[in-house]
Amino acid sequence: MLRARDAVRGVLDNPSAFNHKYPMTETKKIYKPRPVTGFPEWLPDVRMVEQQWFDHIRRVFESYGFCSIETPSVEELDVLRAKGEVDKEIYCLERLHKDESDSKDARLALHFDQTVPLARYVAQHFNDLVFPFKRYQMQRVWRGERPQAGRFREFYQCDIDVINVDNLPLHFDAELPAIMWEILSALPGMEGEKIQIRVSNKKILMGLIDGHLNDEGDQINFFRLIDKIHKEGLELLLCFLSEKNINIYLINFLKSVFSKKSYAFSELDSLIVGTGIAYSDSYKAGINELKFILQSTAHLPLGSVVADLSIVRGLDYYTGTVYETVFTENPGYGSICSGGRYDDLASGYINKNLPGVGMSIGFSRLFSYLKEKGKLPVGRQSAADILVVLPSKDRQEQAAETARTLRARGMNVEMYHRDAKIKNQMAYAEKKGIPYVWFPPFEAGQAHEVKDMKTGTQSAADPSVWTIPGT
């Protein structure tokens, strides 16, 4: 018996042996909740639209044969840093009650994009994947920004990438913007928005500065300054070029090229003809690849995908095609869907040559933008098609049976469980935006009836055959 008693004490002295939760404390302190800046959260009606967005994006991704993957929210800090990323925006994880042993473990941090985790995933599971590996990924990512209006610290991105071993057909560079155009132009709420996918190829500019800017750092700065044109204008770039003693013909050529927002397919070939400007093979290769993409997306409405030679993306790991997507009427909002081709995705993790091409929708940023503009089709607060009324307390079982019958036939059916006035039950359906209210018989022998809350029409109906009008 003593042993058992000790055991009781042993268990009771270690509350976590029972459960991870302590009892509520007796003092009832009210902690007024407030939103955490940068971590968006929606009410049910907005969340319903968000779900429609995810469903739509997933449907289109899958219709092109992309598979879904998810990676953990965390990676080892060394993995996140392996690509030389700036780390000041990384959130590290720390156990609240860490002990000595924690310091022996690898430090974990929340991922800040889905590209680094993809690279790690492909390297780690290389032997189990079929190439070309086509995956989509729709997860939250985190940036440890200082709280700031309009900046998200947690947000969704929707990425597609295609990775292959050694080489990857250029057709994928053309398929990706077609997929993204199909998605973006049909998102609920985007009907009135004109968007344009702007494409370029980094080889074009590389082919022009070959022999002029040979220092790698200078090249990186060149592309960075081009990336800033949309925000800062051309002046900084021109100043930089003349500082580097680039000849005036090339400077003027670049100036005119960057000022033109969109090149037609036929204009690309003749672009440099007669200018006397020297270029390397890279220039020609870039022009041809860009032409191929314009040609392969010609089935889309005119102006959906255009050539814009000022698109370079700030990220130096892009080596060929680069994409940005803007609202035609509000280009200053910046890109809502970007990406490009990279020569070697997982070079930091595996000794294989894995070229890829990818695009990413800034989901939360785009969603919030349309929400702020009042463009989202926000309406119902519930997925229920029908509210089954409780006629009276003693007809509970019949109401339940009615709900089961309708539900078994594929409808979303909510029951009103409280024995309340019918008026109140209908007000509940109204408030939640439930489109139909169903009245089981109030007395034996009566018929079922269903009311269309929009039109107000009420009519007799049989739960085993009735269908939602228009379905």
C-alpha 226/C-alpha 234 separation (Å) is 8
DSSP helix/strand/coil, 366: helix
Q: 447: which DSSP letter? A: P
Question: Quick check: 235 binds its own copies (CB under 8 A)?
Answer: yes
Residue numbers 332-391 binding its own copies by CB under 8 A: 347-351, 381-384, 387
For residue 443, the minimal CB distance to its own copies (Å) is 21
Which letter does DSSP use for residue 24 in this model? P
Class of residue 451 by CB neighbours under 10 A (exposed 0-12, middle 13-18, buried 19+): buried
CB 83 to its own copies: min, Å = 6
Site for its own copies in 409-438 (CB under 8 A): 411-415, 417-418, 428, 431-432, 434
Footprint of its own copies on 13-42 (CB under 8 A): 15-16, 18-25, 28-36, 39-42
Residues within window 130-169 making contact with its own copies, judged by CB under 8 A: 130, 132, 134-135, 140, 142-144, 146-147, 154, 169
Write the DSSP string, 302-364: TTSEEE-TT---S-TTEEEEEEEEEETT-GGG--SEEEEEES-TTTTT-SS---EEEEEE-HH
- Angle, CA of 171, 177 and 181, to the nearest 5°: 140
> What x/- string results for residues 249 through 288 when contact with its own copies is judged by CB under 8 A?
----------------------------------------
Distance, C-alpha 294 to centroid of its chain:
25
Six token digits for residue 391:
């006629």
Q: Which of residues 189-218 bind its own copies (CB under 8 A)?
A: 216
Q: Are 339 and 151 in contact (CB under 8 A)?
A: no
DSSP string of 126-179?
GGG--SSEEEEEEEEEE--PPP-TT--SEEEEEEEEEE-SS---THHHHHHHHH
CB of 170 to its own copies, least distance (A): 8
Least CB distance from residue 227 to its own copies, whole Å? 6
- Residue 224 or 284: which CB sits closer to its own copies? 224
**Cβ distance to its own copies smaller for residue 258 or 279:** 258
Cβ of residue 138: shortest distance to its own copies, in angstroms?
11
Taking CB under 8 A as the rule, does residue 299 contact its own copies?
Answer: yes
Q: Least distance (Å) from its own copies to the CB of residue 353?
A: 12
Q: Which of residues 168-187 bind its own copies (CB under 8 A)?
A: 169, 171-172, 175
Footprint of its own copies on residues 66-125 (CB under 8 A)?
66-79, 82-97, 101, 105-106, 108-110, 112, 120-121, 123-125
Query: Does residue 460 interact with its own copies by CB under 8 A?
Result: no
Taking the complex as a whole, the smallest distance from the CB of residue 470 to its own copies amounts, in Å, to 19
Which residues does 339 contact at the CB level (< 8 Å), separation at least 6?
176, 313, 322, 323, 357, 358, 359, 360
Q: Smallest gap, in angstroms, from Cβ of residue 215 to its own copies? A: 12
